Amino acid sequence: MSNELLKVDHLKKYFKTPKGYLQAVDDVSFSIGRGGTLGVVGESGCGKSTLGRCILRLHEPTSGKVYFCGEDVTNYGPKELKNLRTKMQIIFQDPYSSLDPRNTIAQAIEEPLLLHGMFNKRDKEGITKRVLELMDMVGLARRFVNSYPHELDGGRRQRIGIARALSLKPDFIVCDEPVSALDVSIQAQILNLMQDLQEELGLTYMFITHDLSVVKHISSQIIVMYLGRVVERAAPEELFKNPLHPYTQALLASIPVPDPDVKLRKGVLKGEISSPINMSEECRFINRCPSVSDECRNRSMPEKEVVKGHFAACCHC
């Protein structure tokens, strides 16, 4: 039996605009093994969240395939898609805007259970028992069961989001910057919770983040995105030790060093970001790359395996 849970094959998502097509996700391919964590990094607007939403069919892909447990889910109809939701879930970035302010914590957690027919509405005792189990699972005190989202801090609200995602017993969860809106101390608590749950429940994560220290800590594989495309892919230790693509090198160089005597490291980017609308076939990093050449202007380099398990999309690698 294959260990592969999710496979994304040449996925594209274009949005129509008055000036043309915005290529939010363009020809992205990767796979995630069961129980693993794929970290997805890149600056704002590179297509990370859109990629996650396309995998879950919250956005309809323009083309490409998504295989879950070996089945092509890109052509699923409404009924099949509803069943798929029990196996694929998402934790949103903002724990406040993703919760209905009119619902109590109990109502927020029980909503997916009722929607997917896990419990009958009349089974009040069973629903309450399951809600309390989920609250215990994510470390949320039972005294908050009848509280409203505005009465809780960000960390507790995010625990509700995690409980909702876990309520249907999924195998795969897209974590869309789940700790970026939280204080640093709370971030550590939520990350530790997510890792404990992954080990306990055998979960598979796609972890989208801006924080390179977080992605190094939690991931088994990392992909780096730039303007809709994957420019580098490797294991965390290899990526941080030997970044190949100039963009990845610049990202790592931007990590602050807590020492005032350390000079600014090489790799700081200059130049303007190319427009993501109606992009040409030349390298998308061309306007900011310090090593640009004529070869970069003629074509966009596909991913190639530079060393075993380490892929980069650059003609200079």
- Which tens digits make up the pLDDT trace of 189-244? 889 999 999 999 999 999 999 888 889 889 999 999 999 999 999 999 999 999 99
Q: Which residues contact 191 (CB under 8 A, 6 or more apart)?
A: 179, 214, 217, 218
Phi then psi for residue 91, to 5 deg, are -110, 120
Take residue 88 and report the two structure tokens written for it: 């694929």
Domain boundaries, the chain: 4-87+171-312, 103-169
Q: Residues 37, 157, 186, CA angle at the centre, nearest 5°?
A: 65
Helix (H) or strand (E) holding 17: strand 4-17
Q: Is the dihedral of CA 217, 218, 219, 222 positive or negative?
A: negative
Structure tokens at 263: 């000079």
Per CATH, is 4-87+171-312 categorized as 3.40.50.300?
A: yes
Which pLDDT does position 217 carry in this prediction?
87
Please state the pTM of the whole predicted model: 0.90
How are strands ordered across the β-sheet holding 37-41? Answer: 88-91, 172-176, 204-208, 37-41, 221-226, 229-234, 310-312, 304-307
Query: Residue 1: its pLDDT value, please?
Result: 45
Give me the residues of the chain with pLDDT under 70, please: 1-2, 262-268
Reference 160, options 217, 204, 103, 206; nearest CA is 103
Task: List helix spans (H) across the chain.
Answer: 48-55, 78-84, 105-115, 124-137, 154-166, 184-201, 212-218, 236-241, 246-253, 294-298
Strand partners, 226: 229
Place of tokens 């594209």: 12
